[in-house]
Amino acid sequence: MSHHLSRPRRTSRLLVIVTGWLLASSAVMAAEPNAAQRTAFKQAYAAAKQGDESWREQAKGLVNYPLYPYLEAAALSRDLRTMDRAPVEDYLRRYPDLIPASDLRRDYLLELARRKDWDGFLALYQPGLGDALSCNALQARLSKGEKLDFDKDLSALWAKSALPSACDPALDAAHDQGLLTNARLWERIDRAADANQGGTISSLANWLPADEVQAGQRIGMALRDPGGAVAVAAKWPDTPRHRQAAMLALERLARRQSVTADQAWQKLQSHFNFSPAQRGRIMSALAVFHATDFNETALARLAELPASAQTDASREWRVRVALSQQDWKSVLAAIDAMPDAQKQDGEWRWFRARALSALNRDAEARRLLAPLAQEPSYFGFLAADRIDSGYAICPLAMTNDPQREQSLLANRGLQRAFELYAIDMPKPARREWTQALNGADPATLRQAVDLAYRRGWYDRAVFVLNSGDALRYYEHRFPLAGQDGLVPQAEQAGIDPAWAYAILRAESAWMSDARSGADARGLMQLLPSTAALVAKRNGLAWGGGDTLYDPITNIALGTRYLAQMAARFNGAPWLASAAYNAGPGRVDQWLAARGSLAPDLFTATIPFKETREYVARVMAFSVIYDWRISGKAVTLAERMPAIGATYSLPNGRTPRRAVTCPANAVVMPAEAASSGAAVPSSTR
């Protein structure tokens, strides 16, 4: 009994200790840095990066500033080409767990590899710094006369479809040791073929036995130049590897030129003894890409595919082609042919209901629409419009845990993350965030997100609150950032603020430094060339591409460009969204081909998966943002007028649908991708 009685006293003492630690932590926490410290840091950091020793004088009062280690690392990184190991080792000893230390170690190791200072390299090397340095470490060991062991040293690298050039010396040594057997070479060639890495195949093919080199090279050619490959494939021998090359060439050519690929298939199918699986892959690719071109034979070809050749893509395109023809019986047959898991997607439940309604089977349609309308998604909102029910949005309010908050505020890594964000260094801020919260439980992550949200760091919620009940934190996941001026800028541009917010959220997920592979930048992902034209057209100031990372500038230009797209399509936000993603020229082409379709059918028949999902995501986000702004939402039916009809901006008299939280509502994301990350685009 005494044992059980002692537990509460021990627990109480533990709580006192923990509470005391938390209070002590908060007491010793650096006070919130002030504007003068931040200005001094930015000046010192710029000087350190330029190799200007004045940074030390400028940083005299910053020794306890959370980001002080970044200054030393910046100064050291500037001089790596001439630096010996001692200063680097000293920094690593003092800041062993910091991100700048990891970066400094990596950069100095790359410099030592360049110098071929393998003794110094091995003294500093740690595993886990990337493939290039892993290969440099193997080269360092080879310089000492060591031999490679394939399973121990190379198997993890060999499993990758592409490797950096730093790995070439190690791979050459492995080849010279006889470790790259024929079986291993073909294993990696097959992996590279699956990943469309023709360059990897070309580099490996020359190591094959002499009688197999040509086959390997032709597999590489099939990936790099499928048109050239099919043009000469009839002269290739009918060997297993040449059949593989021909199959890959036909598959890839089908993506680009379905008619040309079809003509080549007619010739090559009698030349090569393709396996049933290979024939299925070719026939499926041809059928799918004839469908994306909406060729006359597409629907029949998709329906006639043998079961073994069917894929999720071929089955869904069978539905899309039938929708483009408004052949409702074929729509039902195509959806019925899907496996149960695919049928449950909201898109196919919606279009099954649409087909049933078109065939005067309204009762059956309503039985599908009622549960679909309980989902806060594009198709759920369409279903709610069809049966005239409220939009099912069930928000959760964030609860505050003071103890957990204090613990987070005492976390030095999170302090650095918040401070980096405050001084407009979001990329390193995200890295510090990730490291500081590695392994944190959901409650801690939610509290950290709330702390970030209160500081105006909105993208954290988008990326962290991305599954289960966390999707219901709508305030955090769909912020209304008044300080960036979106509402007045949208109103001045003559567009709906809810739509502008939705575009921004879909484009960048609130990452002000977002940059696509095509160089689209900032919150609304504008190309500098487009932004310059928009600025000139609207009489706005233009300071060059980097000004697009300033939210105020980006939003001013982005809203004007949105207005330009809307004006081109009678104001219709759904068509303007498609144009914003894929380019207005492509939308014009699709309208010329299928401009008589209803908006939901037209969207479903957009050939680009990215654009289809983008339009659906933006339209769903528009509903959510309208609700966030006004408490109700203009319907999707109103936001998606018929092609050719003029869209009128919502105003105080526009009917809005109420938002409800039914007891059986389904929790699911409004976006197609859980992260809601930026959609790269080359059209803006």
Over residues 282-293, the pLDDT tens digits come to: 999 999 999 999
- CA 635 – CA 381 distance, rounded (Å): 8
Q: How confident is the model at residue 123 (pLDDT cuts 50, 70, 90)?
A: very high
Task: Work out the average pLDDT over 560-585.
Answer: 97
Nearest to 42 by CA among 68, 63, 73, 77: 68
Tokens of 371: 């549960």
Q: What is the pLDDT of residue 684?
A: 61
Q: How confident is the model at residue 666 (pLDDT cuts 50, 70, 90)?
A: low
pLDDT digits (tens, 9 = 90+) for 469-522: 999 999 999 999 877 899 999 999 999 999 999 999 999 999 999 999 999 999
Distances (CA, A) of 377 to 367, 587, 667: 18, 24, 10
| Bridge partners for 659 per DSSP | 391
Are residues 404 and 415 in contact, defined by beta-carbon separation less than 8 angstroms? no
Q: Residue 548 pLDDT more than 80? A: yes
Q: Residue 574 pLDDT more than 50? A: yes
Q: How confident is the model at residue 678 (pLDDT cuts 50, 70, 90)?
A: very low
Are residues 488 and 515 in contact, defined by beta-carbon separation less than 8 angstroms? no
Are residues 574 and 566 in contact, defined by beta-carbon separation less than 8 angstroms? no
- CA 470 – CA 667 distance, rounded (Å): 9
Local structure of 148: helix, strand or coil: coil
Are residues 637 and 385 in contact, defined by beta-carbon separation less than 8 angstroms? yes
According to DSSP H, which parts of 573-680 are helical?
A: 573-582, 584-594, 599-604, 609-630, 636-639
Q: Residue 165 pLDDT more than 80? A: yes
Positions annotated as catalytic residues are 507
Model pTM? 0.90
- CA 310 – CA 173 distance, rounded (Å): 44
Q: What is the pLDDT of residue 209?
A: 95
Are residues 649 and 500 in contact, defined by beta-carbon separation less than 8 angstroms? no
Q: What values do phi and psi take at 598, rounded to 5?
A: -65, 155
Are residues 41 and 62 in contact, defined by beta-carbon separation less than 8 angstroms? yes
Phi-psi region of 208 (alpha: psi -120 to 50; beta: other; left: phi over 0): beta
Q: How confident is the model at residue 669 (pLDDT cuts 50, 70, 90)?
A: low
| The length of the chain, given as a count of residues | 684
* Mean pLDDT, rounded, of the chain: 92
- CA 201 – CA 390 distance, rounded (Å): 56
Q: What is the pLDDT of residue 16?
A: 36
**Which residue in this structure is represented by tokens 């340095």?**
133
Q: What is the pLDDT of residue 607?
A: 96
Q: How confident is the model at residue 662 (pLDDT cuts 50, 70, 90)?
A: confident
pLDDT digits (tens, 9 = 90+) for 173-210: 999 999 999 999 999 999 999 999 999 999 999 999 99
Reported as half-sphere exposure (CB side, CA atoms, 13 A), residue 490 has a value of 20
Q: Residue 219 pLDDT more than 80? A: yes
Tokens of 248: 């890959």
Are residues 511 and 499 in contact, defined by beta-carbon separation less than 8 angstroms? no
Question: Distance of alpha carbon 121 from its chain centroid, rounded?
Answer: 35
Of 2-11, 21-30, 217-226, minimum mean pLDDT range: 2-11
Question: Distance of alpha carbon 294 from its chain centroid, rounded?
Answer: 29
Q: What is the pLDDT of residue 668?
A: 61
- CA 239 – CA 233 distance, rounded (Å): 12
Q: Residue 2 pLDDT more than 50? A: no
In one letter, which amino acid is 320? R
- CA 306 – CA 287 distance, rounded (Å): 12
CB-based burial, 206-234: b 16+ in 10 Å, e otherwise? ebbeeebebbbbbbbbbbbebeebbeebe
Q: What is the pLDDT of residue 25?
A: 41
- CA 77 – CA 73 distance, rounded (Å): 6
Distances (CA, A) of 18 to 23, 414, 578, 630: 9, 20, 54, 44
State the sign of the Cα–Cα–Cα–Cα dihedral 396, 401, 404, 408.
Answer: positive
- CA 106 – CA 98 distance, rounded (Å): 13
Q: What is the pLDDT of residue 482?
A: 78
Tokens of 583: 């380019």
Task: Work out the average pLDDT over 34-60.
Answer: 94
State the sign of the Cα–Cα–Cα–Cα dihedral 410, 413, 416, 422.
Answer: negative
The DSSP H or E segment spanning 391 is strand 391-392
pLDDT digits (tens, 9 = 90+) for 56-96: 999 999 999 999 999 999 999 998 999 999 999 999 999 99
In one letter, which amino acid is 562? L
| Bridge partners for 521 per DSSP | 515, 526
The DSSP H or E segment spanning 392 is strand 391-392
Q: What is the pLDDT of residue 220?
A: 96
Distances (CA, A) of 664 to 373, 378, 393, 667: 11, 18, 11, 9
User: Rounded to the nearest 5 degrees, what angle is found at the Cα of 275, between the Cα atoms of 273 and 279?
Assistant: 95
pLDDT digits (tens, 9 = 90+) for 448-458: 999 999 999 99
In one letter, which amino acid is 57? E
